[in-house]
Structure 1
Amino acid sequence: MIIATAGHVDHGKTTLIQALTGKNTDRLADEQRRGLTIDLGFAWRHDPHAGAIAFVDVPGHSRFIRTMLAGLAGADAALLVIAADEGPMPQTREHLALLDLLGIAQGLVVLTAIDRASSKQRAATRQAAIELLQGTTLANSPLLEVSAITGQGIDDLQVAITELAQSIPARHCTGNPRFLVDRRFSVTGSGCVVTGTLLNGELHTDSHLCLTPVAGSVRIRGMQRDGQAITALKAGQRAALNLAGDLDADHPQRGDWLLAPEMHQLTDRLDISLRLLPDAKLHRGTLQVLAGAAASSGRVVWLDESAGLAQVLLDHGLHAIQGDPVIVREPAANQTLGGGRVIDPLGRQRGRSKPEALSRLRALQPVDSPDIALGVELAQQKEVDIAAFARRWNLTPNELAALLAAEPLVHLGGQALHPERVAQAEHSIVQRLQQAHTEQPEQRGLPQHALLRAAAIGLSPPSSGLLLKRMVSHQQLQQQGGIYALPNHQPQLPTSDLLLWEKVAAELNKSKLRPPIVGEMAESLGHSREEMLAFMQRMQQWGYVLGVAHNRFYLPEQLDELAAVAVELCNQSPDGGFVAAEYRDQSGIGRNLTIQVLEYLDRVGVTWYRKQRRFLQPAWQREQKH
């Protein structure tokens, strides 16, 4: 268990820890000379009943609030220290407010220096402390009176600490490892050493981790707890780690993370549940945002002030997951404004204030477990990005698999959907095709983009494409190239068009992937260009041909051949993409037609374009795997 001190400067926090552990946590020469804690100090007590208890001594001066908050990160409980001869002071109140905002609900209130206080002063300080604690997370905490100098009350405090440690359950070692660094130093013969707290998961010697935010790769050479070598570390424990790897003079430093590689993702937008302190006012100027042991400048905007929903826009990206605490301060006045918890570490940039977005955040606001959150997400959204959900909640692959297996879900690529959502979307698609077949019996079917636009199922393009593939595999639809129809649909062309269509189809089949333009086909078949263009446009409307340009048409089944070239290029490419020149050379269709074809493949959901390269959409990736 980890216990952090809190309280005003010169109220005896360091002296108290020395009385409890025998160790002076003021390790810096300047601290010892001035009698003032400047940096974090650490000490251990090995309790025969409660096990190892780590004490974190934090500075009490207002100038060192960020350092104080770094000491609270990962703490299970707090010792709120108040000098009996002075009573609560400004930093007492601010530290208590920070404990309250961070949700630290376990602790003890210790009135120190009772040897310097009269009985009247002690009684007044006790009453002031009780009143100060009302309405905070420490309101019902035991209150003890001690003198670290004479030893009076120390034994009773030791007993209270043992009982406190026994009452706090051990943290579950779930999730990927997240180690929060709060101190760095060098040891001769060993090199870089960091201290901190493992907030999630487990660590072992020789574990390979990602140093965040710089994305460096590091290895744990060794670990120590209270000077003793260990080989494993569990969530909720402090330790010193000897590191090797991508290290430099700037990193690691306080506020950095050692993470499982899959958890390295920086965010500059946090959706949070925010509570302001009394009389605090939020403005749209630059504020200081503290998360974990890191600080960043940024802005905070209300999304729904009445519900306490806000978004933090950071100037520098940082790491966070759902539930991580956040403190907002006014740097100019050195004043804490408020704090809260992260609801979504990957906040929306667009549409953040839309009703559906706010409804989702309100529903997630009280949720503290991923199994409940998944149900909420499925109810609030048409589809849930599985990888993003796992990152938000820090789920290991096994934990994610178990969670998904417990829910009745439909998987479309990397998205999870509730079966009712899928059934609604499938019904809309079938209904739209039934209408199209009834109104235009000569129609072969609808191309993908037209069908999805008409059905308005509201899914993302990748998921929509995968849903159509799923319906084809379940024999709910039939597909010919990019044209979809109901399984029993038999199109009937007017007699006047049937004979010409047979000739056009033969010409297109003969030309393979380089179909003639409309004028060339008209000349070949003895028609005017205007007549042929009108006919081809009619055939396109009915789903017999697909137009990649205003005067160039393919048979629907030839879409598969055009897509196959893209699939082959992607499969051969190290990054899964290709450029237009590679497609031209592979297909042999020439430069101008290549551009028309690739733009068409982008439009119909086969490929997507980014930085001069094209990549396969999920629907076509999935098809190749099966």
Structure 2
Amino acid sequence: MFILGTAGHIDHGKTALIYALTSIDTDRLPEEKERGMTIDLGFAWMKLPSGEKIGIVDVPGHENLIKNMIAGATGIDAVILVIDANEGWMPQTEEHFQIIDLLNIKYGIIALTKVDLVDQNRLKVVEKEIQERLKNTNFFNAPLIKVSAVKNIGIEQIKSAIQNLIAKIKPKRDIGKPRISIDRVFKVKGSGTVITGTLIGGTIHTGMEVIIFPSYRKTRIRNLQSYKEKVESAFPGSRVALNLVGIEKSELHRGDIVFGTKQIRASKNIDVQIQLLPQVKKYSLINRSEVFFFSGTKEILAKVILDEKKYLQDGETGFGQLRFKESIATYLGDRFILRIPSPSKTIGGGLIIDPLAPKHNLKDKAIINFLQTRIKLDLRELILTELNKIIFIKKDNLLANSNYADPEIREMVELLIKEGKIMATNYWLIEKNYWEEQIKKFMHQLNHEYELFPLQTGFPLNKFQSYFYYLKPEIFNHLIEVLTNTKNIASEKGIIFLPSSKPKISPEQKILISKILKIIKDNPLNPPDEKKLNSQIAESKEIIDFLIQEGEIIKLNEGILLENKNYDMMKNKLIDFLKINGSISISQVRDLLGISRKYIIPLLNKMDQEKITQRKENNRILILKNKDK
């Protein structure tokens, strides 16, 4: 589906030409009828000789209604530039043409209207004037057709020219991201709220759930029309009217956007390339000045932050950041227009390079390099620079606000992963340099732990999770997996360690080890607890942890410490007793082992934890699977 738009000075015959082409009067408002001029956007459609249906947007020509013209020009594929044969190229012709150029509309037809009211000499003068103005533009070779809507001169030639033009234009792409920038909202009796706009980015259908931005209201398409015909589906490039369920007219406004159900992301800052128009009167765009920003059908005030320049002169191009007081939803690669309020005029426009930019100044060369790399909208570079900016992102969210389809993005991502340019988990993508930094940081931290605790052979995994708290759990787990697979580290039962690590015991520590082991061995029936040992022997905690780690001693509840051999002896006595008697009480344990209740309960709890015994009322029984041990 293709959409054409008109452009040109007030009263040059845009609406009359559309009526001659389509038999549709696009002046729908009573005020427009009364004043004889188009105030708001009008819409019409026609069938070409080939049978293909196209839409036509009629825009107002008055200088005070330029914002309506911009709203209409957004989303069109080609333009019919309408010029009165008597008046020639006028101020609003110029401004409309500049807007067409800024929106990167490359295809068009020149309609020289009201030719029945001028002589041949005047026609030649105006034609020459038009050709001179179009020199070095995309429209220099555009067909120029002499027209009289009143006398039906040139109408068939216009239709043929449109047919030829459409054959050259690539259809709007279906990238699976439908969006409609609302240009009209009204209510239909018996049906409810209806919005109209140009559909781009994807297909919509009756019954489809959609989301309204900026309210994030979810609604559903009850009925769908395209060119006043009820349809089940509509495709990119169509003019559509959507009857929405459960939403009031007062909740919607021109400039709001209807999205498909894919996540909508928005920002108060966007990075852009700005192109200032050459002005008859010199003009400079000063850093931090405020301008009106137009994108789609949205009009909003923006503050301009420029790069190292304090201003841009007319005719210049440069990078900038536009800051808004409210979040806006734009796409990478979208075009925009800038206007100033006083005197009211279009000063330029440009290209959105980062629709989700962080707030920053543009004096940093790295930021300028980032923008320069993205300016060509090359998918490979966009992915790499996006990851460079945000470090890691869920795969499904990568370049969500772009004019690329998800399958295109996934295909390029897979290629970059194979090339080793980016890292990936099941759901996350990670910037390569950042990933390598995390590996270095992890190994540095592990070695540092060994320096702090030379007696340790390994460290709890959750300790490192706390150091790398900023990583998503899946990314952290992938980090451990990669380091383990490459044999940089080893992992066992929640403990990570260096495969080659061995405890480094100093002579002083060897003396402490002997002291602690002697105290524990000398008191088999009245073993010390950890707290008591720490008070008796300075700096004993690390030694105790080391002896537990090495299996020399066993730590029971309440911090009670047993020599490993002593624990095995007690455990085996209890197992032998249970094999014969089936169960054992606390008093029987006391008689069997000669220890007090203070030690009996922690000992039995330890055996319960090891799945050797199980508590049954006030006794312990041997768990069946351990009876043969």
Q: Do these two structures clear the TM 0.5 threshold for a shared fold by scoring above it?
A: yes
Provide Cα deviations, 1:524-580, integer angstroms capped at 9, x if missing partner: 43347xx44xx769999xxx9xxxxxxxxx9xxxxxxxxxxxxxxxxxxxxxxxxxx
SS of the equivalent of 1:136 reads coil
Deviation at 1:499, TM superposition (A): 6.8
Match of 2:429 in 1: 416
- SS of residue paired to 1:393: coil
State the AA in 2 paired with 1:405. Answer: E
Residue 407 (structure 1) aligns with: 416
- Distance (Å, rounded) in 2 between the aligned partners of 1:240 and 1:167: 27
1:280 maps to 2:289? no
Work out whether 1:491 is the aligned partner of 2:510: no
Distance in structure 1 (CA, Å) of the matches to 2:514 and 2:34: 99
Residues 280 and 338 of structure 1 are in contact (CA less than 8 Å); yes or no, is this contact kept in structure 2?
no
SS at match of 2:300: strand
User: Structure 1 491/392 Cα, relative in aligned 2: closer, same or farther at 3 Å?
Assistant: farther
CA distance in 1, matches of 2:164, 2:212: 37
- The 5 Å alignment of 1:578-589 reads none
User: Which deviations, in whole Å up to 9, do the C-alpha atoms of 1:327-371 show, x marking residues without a partner?
Assistant: 11111221111111111110111475433222211100111x535
| Greater shift in the superposed pair: 97-106 or 349-358 | 349-358
Instruction: Tell me the CA shift for residue 277 of structure 1.
Output: 1.0
Contact kept, 8 Å, 2:181 with 2:198, in 1: the verdict is yes
Letter in 2 for 1:476: N
Aligned residue number for residue 398 of structure 2: 389
Alpha-carbon distance, 1:255 to partner? 1.2
Q: Where do residues 139-538 of structure 1 align in structure 2 (5 Å cutoff)?
A: 139-245=140-246, 247-278=247-278, 279-283=282-286, 284-303=288-307, 308-350=318-360, 353-367=363-377, 369-377=378-386, 383=392, 386-393=395-402, 398=407, 400-408=409-417, 409-412=422-425, 415-417=428-430, 422=435, 426=439, 430=443, 444=457, 461-462=471-472, 465-466=476-477, 468-474=479-485, 475-479=487-491, 485-497=497-509, 524-527=533-536, 531-532=538-539
Deviates more, 1:46-55 or 1:430-439: 430-439
CA deviations 1:382-412 (Å, max 9, x no partner) are 6566454232226666555444333324214
Contact 2:113 2:146 (C-alpha < 8 Å) held by counterparts: yes
Q: Judge which range, 374-383 or 274-283, deviates more.
A: 374-383
- The one-letter amino acid paired with 1:491 is P
Instruction: Report the residue type matching 1:411 in the other structure.
Output: A
SS at match of 2:347: strand
Measure how far apart 1:36 and its partner are: 0.6
Q: 1:23-53 CA deviation, whole Å, 9 max, x = no partner? A: 1111111111111100111111111416111
Cα 1:344–1:13, aligned 2, differ >3 Å: closer, same or farther?
same
Deviations 1:488-544 (A, max 9, x none): 222323243357579999xxxxxxxxxxxxxx966543347xx44xx769999xxx9
C-alpha displacement of 1:262: 2.7
Distance across 1 between alignment mates of 2:295 and 2:515: 70
Mean Cα displacement is larger for which, 59-68 or 346-355?
Answer: 346-355
One-letter code of the match for 2:296?
Answer: G
Higher CA-based Rg: 2
Q: Find the aligned partners of 2:357 and 2:55 in 1 and give their Cα distance.
A: 35
Which one-letter code corresponds to 2:415 in the other structure? Answer: A
Deviation of 1:68 after TM superposition, in Å, equals 0.8
What secondary structure does 1:110 align onto? strand
Measured against aligned partners, the alpha-carbon deviations of 1:112-159 in whole angstroms (never above 9, x if no partner) come to 111122222212211221222234343332222211111222221111
Deviation string for 1:410-468 (max 9, x for gaps)?
Answer: 214754236677457646755786798799965657899999999xx9x9644974553
Q: Quick one: which amino acid aligns to residue 309 of structure 1?
A: F
Distance 1:174 1:496, change over 3 A: same
- The RMSD of aligned alpha carbons is 3.7
Cα drift, residue 66 of structure 1 = 1.2
Q: Is the 8 A contact 2:336 2:352 kept in 1?
A: yes
Q: Which residue pairs with 1:22 in the alignment? A: 23
Q: Structure 1 residues 536, 122: CA separation in 2 closer, same or farther (over 3 Å shift)?
A: farther
**333-342 or 97-106: bigger deviation:** 333-342
- TM-score computed with the length of structure 2 as normaliser: 0.74
Instruction: Call closer, same or farther: CA 1:450–1:97 in 2, change over 3 Å.
Output: farther
Which residue does the alignment assign to 2:41? 40
Which amino acid is the alignment partner of residue 488 of structure 1? S
Deviation at 1:171, TM superposition (A): 1.8
* Aligned partners of 2:80 and 2:111 also within 8 Å: yes
- Letter paired with 1:280: Y
Q: In the alignment, what sits opposite 1:604?
A: none
Give the aligned length: 520
Mapped partners of 1:357, 1:386: distance in 2: 24
Q: CA separation in 2, counterparts of 1:397 and 1:498?
A: 63
Say whether the 8 Å CA contact 2:134–2:140 is kept in structure 1: yes
Does the 8 A contact of 2:49 with 2:163 survive in 1? no
Tell me the SS of whatever aligns to 2:240: strand
Which residue does 1:581 correspond to in 2? none
Tell me if the contact between 1:181 and 1:257 (Cα under 8 Å) persists in the aligned partners: yes
1:567-578 matched pairs, under 5 angstroms: none
CA distance in 2, matches of 1:167, 1:539: 82
Letter in 2 for 1:492: K
CA distance in 2, matches of 1:60, 1:262: 37
Contact 1:110/1:145, CA 8 A, preserved across alignment: yes
Is the CA contact 2:27–2:42 (under 8 Å) kept in the aligned structure 1?
Answer: yes
Contact 1:225 1:239 in 2 (8 A): yes
Question: Contact conserved, 1:327 with 1:338, CA < 8 A, in 2?
Answer: yes
Distance in structure 2 (CA, Å) of the matches to 1:85 and 1:251: 46
Distance in 2, matches of 1:84 and 1:337, equals: 27
Q: Distance in 2 between matches of 1:389 and 1:195?
A: 30
Matched AA of 1:289: F
Q: How far is 1:470 from its partner?
A: 3.0
Work out the CA distance in 2 between the residues paired with 1:202 and 1:467: 38
Q: Distance in 2 between matches of 1:74 and 1:291?
A: 10
**Alpha-carbon contact 1:178-1:200 (below 8 Å) kept:** yes
Aligned equivalents of 1:172, 1:303: Cα separation in 2: 33
**Mean Cα displacement is larger for which, 255-264 or 36-45?**
255-264
Shift of 1:476: 2.8
Question: Structure 2: which 5+ runs fail to align?
Answer: 310-315, 518-528, 550-558, 560-629
Q: Name structure 1 gaps, 5 residues minimum.
A: 506-519, 545-553, 555-626
- TM-score, normalised via structure 1 length: 0.74
d(CA) in 2 for partners of 1:479, 1:504? 29
Q: 1:186 Cα shift?
A: 1.8
